[in-house]
Chain A
Amino acid sequence: KQEVTQIPAALSVPEGENLVLNCSFTDSAIYNLQWFRQDPGKGLTSLLLIQSSQREQTSGRLNASLDKSSGRSTLYIAASQPGDSATYLCAAPKAAGNKLTFGGGTRVLVKP
Chain B
Amino acid sequence: NAGVTQTPKFRILKIGQSMTLQCTQDMNHNYMYWYRQDPGMGLKLIYYSVGAGITDKGEVPNGYNVSRSTTEDFPLRLELAAPSQTSVYFCASSYSIRKGHNEQFFGPGTRLTVL
- Other-chain residue from B42, B48, B108 in contact with A99 (beta carbon distance below 8 A): B48
Is the Cβ of A99 less than 8 Å from the Cβ of B33? yes
Minimum CB–CB distance from A33 to chain B (whole Å) comes to 11
Give bound CA distance, A44 to B103, whole Å: 12
Q: Which of B26-51 contact A (CB under 8 A)?
A: 31, 33, 35, 40-45, 48, 50
B69 at the interface (CB under 8 A from A): no
Least CB distance, A96 to chain B, in whole angstroms: 7
What 1/0 flags go to B86-115 for Cβ under 8 Å of A? Answer: 000010101001011011111111010000
Contact check, B42 vs A102: say whether CB atoms are below 8 A apart: yes
- The reply on A98 being an interface residue by CB < 8 A is yes
Contact indicator B48/A34 (Cβ below 8 Å) = no
Q: Which of A34, A91, A100, A102 has most chain B Cβ within 10 Å? A: A100
> Which residue from chain B places its CB closest to the CB of A5 in the assembled complex?
B42
Given contacts A34-B104, A44-B90, A46-B103, contact A105 B97 (CB under 8 A): no
Query: Could you tell me the distance between the alpha carbons of A103 and B44 in the complex, rounded to whole angstroms?
Result: 10
* Cα distance, A25 to B33, chains bound together (Å): 21
Q: Hey, which chain A residues are within 8 Å of B48, CB to CB?
A: 97, 99
Interface residue total, chain B, C-beta cutoff 8 A: 28
**B104 touching A100 by the CB < 8 A rule?**
yes
Report chain B residues within 8 Å CB of A97: 48, 50, 56, 97
Tell me, yes or no, whether A109 is within 8 Å of chain B by CB: no
Select which of B42, B97, B105, B109 is within 8 A of A98 by beta carbon: B97
Neighbouring A residues of B102 by C-beta, 8 Å: 31-32, 49, 93, 98
In the complex formed, the residue of B with least CB distance to A99 is B45
A98 partner residues in chain B, CB cutoff 8 A: 31, 94, 97, 102, 104
Residues of B within 8 A of A36 (CB): 106
Residues on A lying within 8 angstroms of B by beta carbon are 4, 6, 31-32, 34, 36, 41-46, 49, 51, 53, 89, 91, 93, 96-105
* Between-chain CB contacts (< 8 Å), 12 pairs: A34-B104, A42-B109, A43-B107, A44-B90, A49-B103, A91-B43, A97-B56, A98-B104, A102-B42, A104-B41, A104-B42, A105-B41
